Amino acid sequence: MAIPAGVTEPHPTNTQETATIFSDYDFRPRIPAARKRRRQGLDGEENEPIANPEFATGGESNGRVTNQDVRQYFNSFNEALKHQTEIIETVRAEVQELKAEQQLLRTHNKKLQEEIQALRAKLEAQPLNAPVNRSWAEVAAGNPQPDPARTVPRPRKEPNCVRISTAPILDQDIDNDRFSRALPTEAANTHIRTALLNAETTKEVQVAGIGITKIGYIIRFRDIQSAETARNSTEWLEELENNTKVVKPRFGIVVHRVPTEDFELEENKK
C-alpha cells in the first residue's frame, strides 16, 4: 500500500514483520566440523605429533610426503633387500657344502660297512680251532693235517752263532780257572775270548756275547765271517782243553708220526 505524501513512515512494531531474503546456501545441509582431540600422556601433558623419520627432509615439513621422500625410502629399502639377499646366498652356499660333505661321509661309511661285512663272513666261514670230521677214505687219499698242538718248532738258523760243548766235572772240582760247564758268565767269557785271541787263525774275530747251554756255551759273533772262521778252526778249542768241541746242528725227528726230542749228530753218530 502506498504512503501519501507528507506522511512519515511509522516505526515498526512487534506486530509488524520485516521481509527476509533467503538464498540457496541457507537450504544446504550443515555438517558439524569434527573436533580434533589431543591425547594426554601419563603425566597429564599433551603429546605432540611424532613425525615419520622415513619421510623426514632437511627443511621444515608441512605434513606432506614429497616424491623425494618416497624415493629416499625406496632406496634404503632396496639396499636392505640387497644386503639380505647376499646373506641368504652365502648361507645357501655353506649349506650346499655341508650337504656334499655329508654325502661323502655316507659313501665312506657304506664302503666300510661292506668291508666289515665281508670280513665277518670270512671269519664265520673259517672258524678257529674247529674239529674237522674226515672219513678214512679222505685221510688215505689226502695228506694228513698236522696237529698244531703236537707240531715241534724247527730250530732257528743263526749263522753268526757257534755252539760248543765241554766235558762235565765234579762239583768239588769246579774252579773258575779251568774251563768247564756251568761257569759264571764272566769267567766263561774270559776263557773263550782268551782262547780266540791266542789262536793265530781266530785272533781277528769279533765276539758279541756268550750264553750258557746245558752242555756248554753258545758264542754270538758280530758277523757271519767271524763265526765261520771260528767254526772251521780247532786251534782255539785246543786252547780251552777239557774235550771242548763245536756242536753240530741239531735236527728234530719223528717216529711213527710222534715227535721226539731233538738229538745231536756228533761224529756222524745217529
- pLDDT tens-digit map of 184-210: 888 888 999 999 998 888 988 988 888
Q: Is residue 190 situated within a structural domain?
A: yes
For 16-27, the pLDDT digits (tens) are 555 556 566 666
- Per-residue pLDDT at 160: 87
**pLDDT band at 12; cut points 50, 70, 90:** low
What's the pLDDT at 27?
Answer: 61
* Beta strands in 56-165, from DSSP E residues, in sequence order: 161-165
Length of the chain counted residue by residue: 270
pLDDT for residue 264 is more than 50: no
What total number of domains does the chain contain? 2
What value does the mean pLDDT take over residues 206-234?
89
- Note whether residue 48 is domain-resident: no
CA distance 155 to 251: 8
Do 123 and 181 share a domain, yes or no? no
For range 201-227, the mean pLDDT = 89
Q: Per the structure block, which three cell numbers stand in for 102?
A: 655329508
More confident residue, 258 or 72: 72
In a domain, 185, yes or no: yes
- Dump pLDDT digits (tens) for 89-146: 999 999 999 999 999 999 999 999 999 999 888 888 876 665 566 667 766 666 555 5
Give the pLDDT score at 92: 92
Residues 213 and 241: beta-carbon distance below 8 Å:
no
Higher-pLDDT residue of 270, 45: 45
Residues 181 and 239 in one domain: yes
Q: What angle do CA 259, 157, 256 make, to 5 degrees?
A: 15
Residue 172 pLDDT exceeds 90: no
In whole angstroms, give the CA distance from residue 159 to residue 230. Answer: 12
Q: For residue 57, is pLDDT > 50? A: no
What are the C-alpha distances in Å from 124 to residues 111, 112, 147?
A: 20, 18, 22
Are 242 and 181 within one domain?
A: yes
Determine, yes or no, domain membership for 100: yes
Domain holding 109, by residue range, is 67-128
